[in-house]
Structure 1
C-alpha cells in the first residue's frame, strides 16, 4: 500500500508515537471518493477530518474520540473493497506531535533491472510493504519510489537490493536515487 506509515495496534498513550485519533487508510480503491470514504468511516463515530489522496490510493480519517478510531481500525482493517484490501492503522506522529504527510527528500529510491512489463501498480505493491509511498514511477525497467520517511527507504534497500522478487526476472538493484543536482559537473575555472 503503498502508503503505510502505520502501527497495527492501538495508539494513544502519552509516550506513544502514534496519533490516538487519526487513522491512515491504505489500498483505497481507485473508484472511492472522499464522500464515500467519509460515509464509510462516519459509521464508527464523529469524524473531525477526512482526507483522500486518491491518486496515491491512501487517506487519513481523524475522529473526535480514540474509541471511535479504534472501532474503525478494527472494523475496516482487512476489509475487501472493489478488489482491494484496506489497511487501516493509527497514523504516526512527527517529532512536533503532528501527523506527518510530507515526504522526506532523502527517501527517494532508484530501482533498476525491473522487467520491461513492470507496471506502476506492481511496483507499488512490491515496495508498499516497507512504508508509505508518496510518489513513484516506472519506465523501461527503471523505477523510482519515494517513501514518506528515510527509515522506510532504508528498510526497502535492506530487504530488496539484490533480491529476485519477480518470478522469472533477475535480481533487482535498489539504492538511494541521486539528488537532482548531484550529476552535474562542477563548473570549470
Structure 2
C-alpha cells in the first residue's frame, strides 16, 4: 500500500477523489481497501493533526485512471462507514463553500430515511453545500424524525421547498422549510437580507475572497491582541 504524502501539485487531480466526513476509526489501510472496490489505487493520504496525530476527518484517494475515480464517486458517495455517511467527490471540485444561509429543515421523516436518501432526493434541485444531516439519538443512533439540507444558493433551496413540501418520502409526507437560525431568536434563514448579501458576494467576490477575508480577520485579531498586551 502506497500512502506516503504527496503534495497537491504532485497528485493527478483528475484521478483523485476527496473523501470527507470520516469517522475517527478510519485508517489509511481501511480507506485503501474500501477504495479498491472501485479500481486500482495509487495513493491514500489522510492529513493528520501535528499534535495528536489523528486524522482531520477527510483524505484523498488517487486512482490509476480518471474513470476509476468517477466510478468511486458513483458507488462510494454517502455510504456509511462506522455509521457516518462519507462524502466522495473530485478533489479538484472540493472548494470551500460559503454558508449563504440556504439551509432547509426537513421534518416528519420516516425512520428509514437516512442521509443518503436526503442527498439523492434533494440534489435534484441544485448543488448541496454540505453533507445532509439526520438528527439522531446520541445513544442508539435512531432518527429523531427531522434533518437538514444546505444548498449553495437560494434558488435551489426555493425550488426544493416548492417541489418537496408535503410530498411523500419513505411513506410519510415531509415538511420542507427554511431552518431556524442558530442565534436568530426565532428567525428563519432565507430572509431578504441574506439573499441580498449572497447575491452581492456571488457577483463581486472572486473565488478566493472567503479565504482572504478570514486571513485579514485573523491578522486584525492578532494585531489587537498584541496591542492589548503591550499596554499591560
TM-score (norm 1): 0.50
Is 1:162 matched up with 2:166?
Answer: yes
Query: What secondary structure sits across from 1:143 in the alignment?
Result: strand
Unaligned runs of 5+ in 1: 1-18, 53-57, 94-98
Q: Quote the residue 2:147 is aligned against.
A: 144
Partners of 2:180 and 2:108 lie apart in 1 by: 17
- Mapping of residues 4-19 of structure 1, within 5 Å: none
**Aligned residue among 177, 180, 192 for 1:175:** 177
- Which digits, 9 at most, give the CA deviation of each residue in 1:80-124, with x for residues without a partner? 998xxx98542463xxxxx33557251432122334xx26xx231
| Alpha-carbon distance change, 134 to 78 in structure 1, aligned in 2, over 3 angstroms | closer
- Mapping of residues 47-86 of structure 1, within 5 Å: 47=44, 49-50=45-46, 59-61=58-60, 63=62, 68=64, 70-74=66-70, 76=72, 77-78=74-75
CA RMSD of aligned residues (A): 4.6
Partners of 1:26 and 1:158 lie apart in 2 by: 30
Partners of 1:72 and 1:61 lie apart in 2 by: 14
Is 1:106 matched up with 2:106?
Answer: no
| Alpha-carbon distance change, 147 to 160 in structure 1, aligned in 2, over 3 angstroms | same
- Is 1:62–1:69's contact at 8 Å kept on the other side of the alignment? no
- Is 1:127–1:156's contact at 8 Å kept on the other side of the alignment? no
**Structure showing greater relative contact order (alpha-carbon pairs closer than 8 Å, 6 or more residues apart):** 1
- Is 2:15–2:68's contact at 8 Å kept on the other side of the alignment? no
Between Structure 1 and Structure 2, the one with more helix by share is 2
- Which digits, 9 at most, give the CA deviation of each residue in 1:118-168, with x for residues without a partner? 26xx2313211124415441578651314363466556435422211222x
Between Structure 1 and Structure 2, the one with more strand by share is 1
**Aligned residue among 16, 23, 44 for 2:41:** 44
Q: Quote the residue 1:96 is aligned against.
A: none
Number of residue pairs the alignment of both structures matches: 145
Query: What secondary structure sits across from 1:37 in the alignment?
Result: helix
TM-score (norm 2): 0.43
| Alpha-carbon distance change, 25 to 46 in structure 1, aligned in 2, over 3 angstroms | closer
Q: Quote the residue 1:127 is aligned against.
A: 118
